[in-house]
Amino acid sequence: MILGELVETFTTTVINWIRTLGLLGVFLGVIIESVIIPIPSPLIMMGAGFILLSPDLGITAAIIQLLLIAVVGAFASTLGSYIGYGIGYYGGRPAIQKYKWLFGVSVEELDIMQNKFEARPGAIPGIIFTLRAIPIIPLSVMSFIFGVLRIRVEKFTIWTFLGALPRCFSLAALGWIVGRTYAGLAEAIDFFETITLVAIVVIIVAYIVYKKKFSDRLLHKIEETV
């Protein structure tokens, strides 16, 4: 209950920032959502589209303003993503090394995955861009994973920003189009983002359990042959 009230308070505060500070409010709101408070991520950009754009605005003027909102949102989102990326980059592998039994993957296997990425450098931009552009993909989790895989920071930065642009633009445009009902739609999008996060966790846990059982069976067969 307390957490829900806290999130609601910060959400209201961020929306008020957008009303009073404009694009600066958008920037601060996205930073807070990315780094500190679990505010529904679509809410800020959709709120910005609703608040900062007049419903009577012409399409050309609307596109220009939406682009400005998207650039500010993408810049803030990129800065905020460094937190998850940094945790994964500097803390992910030591944790995996120490708790290999828990994660079901070794540092050596991560090195193999990293080498595969480096052998196909053209695939990395497309993966980062796509995962950033889709509104229902949880950004913090992806930032952490890219950090663990030690994706080069310049590639991570460039393609995180470029991928966040269409995400922010489309969400702001939705807020402008749907008007006062944007909050309900933002919550629906956030719900699907949560479902995606749960699915990712389930897949990871299933992989760990499967790999552990496979390893135990293999070890048992080796012991039988010996």
pLDDT confidence of residue 205: 62
pLDDT confidence of residue 100: 60
Other beta carbons within 10 Å of 107: 15
Contacts of 186 (CB under 8 A, 6+ apart): 40, 42, 43, 46, 47, 171, 175
Other beta carbons within 10 Å of 104: 20
Per-residue pLDDT of the chain in tens (226 residues, 90 and over written 9): 565 666 677 778 888 899 899 999 999 989 888 776 567 778 888 889 988 988 888 889 999 999 999 999 999 999 999 988 998 888 877 777 666 655 556 666 667 766 776 667 677 888 889 888 888 787 787 888 888 888 889 999 999 999 999 999 999 999 888 877 666 666 777 666 677 767 766 766 665 565 555 554 544 444 455 4
pLDDT confidence of residue 217: 52
pLDDT confidence of residue 88: 86
Buried b (16+ CB within 10 A) or exposed e, 8-41: eebbeebbebbeeebbebbbbbbbbbbeeeebbb
- Contact of 61 with 72, CB cutoff 8 Å: no
* Nearest C-alpha neighbor of 139 from the set 186, 187, 193, 95: 193
pLDDT confidence of residue 75: 95
Place of tokens 């359990």: 209
Distances (CA, A) of 135 to 157, 171, 185, 202: 18, 8, 12, 20
pLDDT confidence of residue 222: 46
- Contact of 146 with 156, CB cutoff 8 Å: yes
pLDDT confidence of residue 183: 67
Between the two ends of the chain, the Cα-to-Cα distance in Å is 58
pLDDT confidence of residue 68: 95
